[in-house]
Amino acid sequence: MATRFRDAIRQAAGRDEISCVASLAAEFHRIQGNPVATAILARSLVTAVRQQRHGTTGVDHLMHEFSLSTKEGVALMCLAEALLRIPDTATVNHLIREKIGHGDWHAHLGGPSLFVNAATWGLMLSGKLLSTQHHGMLASALSDALLKGGEPLIRKGIDLAMRLLGQQFVMGETIGAALTRSRDGEARGYRHSFDMLGEAALTATDCERYYHAYETAIHAIGQAAAGRGIKNGPGISLKLSALHPRYVRTQRMRVMAELGHRLKHLALLAKHYEIGLNIDAEEADRLELSLDLFSVLAADPQLAAWDGMGFVVQAYQKRAPLVVDLLVDLARRTQRRLMIRLVKGAYWDSEIKRAQVNGLGSYPVYTRKSHTDLSYLVCAGRLLGAPNEIYPQFATHNAQPLAAVFQMAGERGVTDYEFQCLHGMGETLYDQVIGPNRLDVPCRIYAPVGTHKTLLPYLVRRLLENGANTSFVSRLLDPAIAIDELIETPLRQVEREGGMAHPAIPLPCDLYRPGRINSAGIDLADESILATLNDELSALATRQWHARPLVA
Ligand code: FAD
């Protein structure tokens, strides 16, 4: 039975986008709730959030102003990505000069946000000082002393700005500090899931450190939960790539034994405190491995009678609805209720790039945002259709899917579910949702914990997300975008666009056409490809090869 679901997941990975989207559209036609009621709710949420945000001075305004569609936004993104990990000041200076020196910062001045204006002035000044210094023209205007003092000052300033940005997205440097800070949100009705920053560990020492951080955090969260249980109390989110240095398909046996052992220990601890433990979703080529680990954990008799085990489904993956089916089946077979967080997926850019670099046959993810959005609603429908097996957790900052999920749940009489948002991103929206006088659906805040050294990969994902001009949070702040456009249903968009892959994103094999075909690679994380490879190698294993020189 379980293999049937796995086979379906494997086949779906290589499906073409048009047929996937056609199936999604057909399914959504059948399951969608009342579209008029959804639109009314989405509109009221967007209107309220826009009113609340008007005139505020937040980091989100900064992200919108310097979105990735501007040259300056891209420069800032590169800086943020690189700055915190460059060890020497000479390279930092070169980088700042290159990235800040050529931007048209002046064009970003004059908006209503104090934060944006202050940051822009800072960047303009940096740009002026550095570029003028670069061209040797400032010497007459400024003394050498200022120049000498200027560079470290700018370096420090930009470093500080990036760290401030980090603080916006990080709950605390230690779990103790984060738990203390979370009390404020708890008092307003929010729940929390803490994430110890750090991922993609490269050495056993890194893994040890992350493992102990998770262990310490579970003890602290468990004590703070004080028996409130998996839903009402706080929980923890784990990144498996932090717990094993070779968390890849080619090391499956080691991963299942070593990582499986660590994961079980952390799960037992979470069970002891009766808190939720969730496994975050990472890159698409780790999906099957994470499902293997999760299935073993779910079937473990020592972890029976605990419904706090959680898994994340990424709607941007073509396999997503089938992963939901597999999880529902897993819950039935192991007689437990699973906590399933539905997200759209945070690694879109790198998934596209990886498939191109590796010359894969297709992309594991959709190439249009509307396709991901539609997949999200179809997966939401399937999760809501299995209330005995699944406690659904809908993670989004977008008012449209939020309203659609609320509507679908209401029509099916499902009340036992929650929404989720990231710390520093969705609170203005969810202030309209939690509490008895609003929609009265609980919301859990995903709260990253860690020092600036461990922040970088997370910060980059948040900056990409906030800075992309298709992102809901960025569009919400743009007064030029009408509410009708913001709340348009994905089905409408798909029908308008035709349900085809994005024309600017050719298949990996067609990347260099018409010049040439891209060199084809082999996806060594794809089980069906591995099985074919294995058959071919086995067939050749008994064959005798005779080698001799061509020239006598
Ligand atoms: P929207 O602006 O509506 O959607 C943005 C998303 O659309 C992008 O993130 C991307 O997934 C998708 N998209 C954008 N452009 C395209 C395109 N051209 N083609 C196809 N799809 C596109 N992400 C993970 O990967 N793993 C996790 O474990 C995880 N945990 C999370 C936990 C919480 C509580 C939250 C709130 C988010 C989490 N995320 C995780 C991030 C999540 O995947 C999304 O990146 C984020 O929430 C943005 O989606 P949205 O609905 O809020 O915004």
Tell me: the pLDDT tens digits for 114-123? Answer: 555 555 555 5
Spatial distance between the Cα atoms of 311 and 367, rounded to a whole number of angstroms = 24
Query: Sign of torsion, CA 479 483 485 489?
Result: positive
Q: What is the pLDDT of residue 61?
A: 66
CA–centroid distance, residue 470 to ligand 1 (Å): 11
Q: What is the pLDDT of residue 2?
A: 76
pLDDT band at 146 (very low <50, low <70, confident <90, very high): very low
On the question of pLDDT at 102 being above 90, the answer is no
Ligand 1 atom at shortest distance from the alpha carbon of 473? 2
Spatial distance between the Cα atoms of 271 and 92, rounded to a whole number of angstroms = 46
pLDDT band at 152 (very low <50, low <70, confident <90, very high): low
Residue 237: what residue type?
Answer: S
CA–centroid distance, residue 339 to ligand 1 (Å): 18
Q: Is the CB of 346 under 6 A from ligand 1?
A: yes
On the question of pLDDT at 463 being above 90, the answer is no
Query: Residue of the nearest CA to atom 28 in ligand 1?
Result: 280
- Percent of the chain exceeding pLDDT 90 equals 65
**Scanning the structure block, which residue is given the tokens 């249903």?**
489
> Which of 47-61, 296-310, 335-349 is predicted least confidently?
47-61
C-alpha angle 41/467/478, rounded to 5°? 50
Spatial distance between the Cα atoms of 183 and 173, rounded to a whole number of angstroms = 16
Q: Is the CB of 376 under 6 A from ligand 1?
A: no
CA–centroid distance, residue 23 to ligand 1 (Å): 21
Q: Of 172, 213, 95, 146, which is closest to residue 423 (Cα–Cα)?
A: 172
Q: What is the pLDDT of residue 80?
A: 64
Q: What is the pTM of this model?
A: 0.88
Spatial distance between the Cα atoms of 123 and 340, rounded to a whole number of angstroms = 42
Q: What is the pLDDT of residue 95?
A: 73
User: Is the CB of residue 491 less than 8 Å from the CB of residue 32?
Assistant: yes
Q: Which residues of 167-185 are buried (b: 16+ CB within 10 A; e: fewer)?
A: ebbbbbbbbeebbebbeeb
- Percent of the chain exceeding pLDDT 70 equals 81
Query: Residue of the nearest CA to atom 13 in ligand 1?
Result: 369
pLDDT, greater one: 111 or 220: 220
Tokens of 70: 């501007």
345-367 mean pLDDT: 95
DSSP 481: S
Ligand 1 pocket, mutate which of 197, 241, 277, 344 (most atoms under 8 A from CB): 344
Q: What is the pLDDT of residue 515?
A: 95
Q: What is the pLDDT of residue 468?
A: 79
- Bridge partners, residue 443, by sequence: 419
Q: What is the mean pLDDT of the chain?
A: 87
Q: What is the pLDDT of residue 467?
A: 72
pLDDT band at 76 (very low <50, low <70, confident <90, very high): low
- If residue 472 lies in a helix (H) or strand (E), which one and from where to where? helix 472-476
> Which of 418-422, 513-517, 524-528 is predicted least confidently?
524-528
- The helix/strand/coil state of 260 is helix
pLDDT band at 92 (very low <50, low <70, confident <90, very high): confident
CA–centroid distance, residue 344 to ligand 1 (Å): 4
Phi first, then psi: what are they for 437, rounded to 5°? -90, 0
238-267 mean pLDDT: 96
Q: What is the pLDDT of residue 72?
A: 66
Tokens of 99: 């990235």
Distance of CA 41 to the CA centre of its chain: 26
Residue 414 CB-half CA count within 13 A: 24
SS3 per residue for 345-358? CCCHHHHHHHHHHC
Q: What is the pLDDT of residue 140?
A: 38
- Give alpha helix (H) positions in 188-335: 204-225, 229-232, 252-254, 260-273, 287-299, 320-334
On the question of pLDDT at 139 being above 50, the answer is no
Q: What is the pLDDT of residue 13?
A: 85
Distance of CA 236 to the CA centre of its chain: 16
Ligand 1 atom at shortest distance from the alpha carbon of 426? 36
User: Is the CB of residue 476 less than 8 Å from the CB of residue 466?
Assistant: no
Residue 491: what residue type?
Answer: L
CA–centroid distance, residue 465 to ligand 1 (Å): 7
Q: What is the pLDDT of residue 244?
A: 96
User: Is the CB of residue 275 less than 8 Å from the CB of residue 236?
Assistant: yes
Residue 301: what residue type?
Answer: P
353-371 mean pLDDT: 96
On the question of pLDDT at 457 being above 90, the answer is no
Q: Is the CB of 369 under 6 A from ligand 1?
A: yes
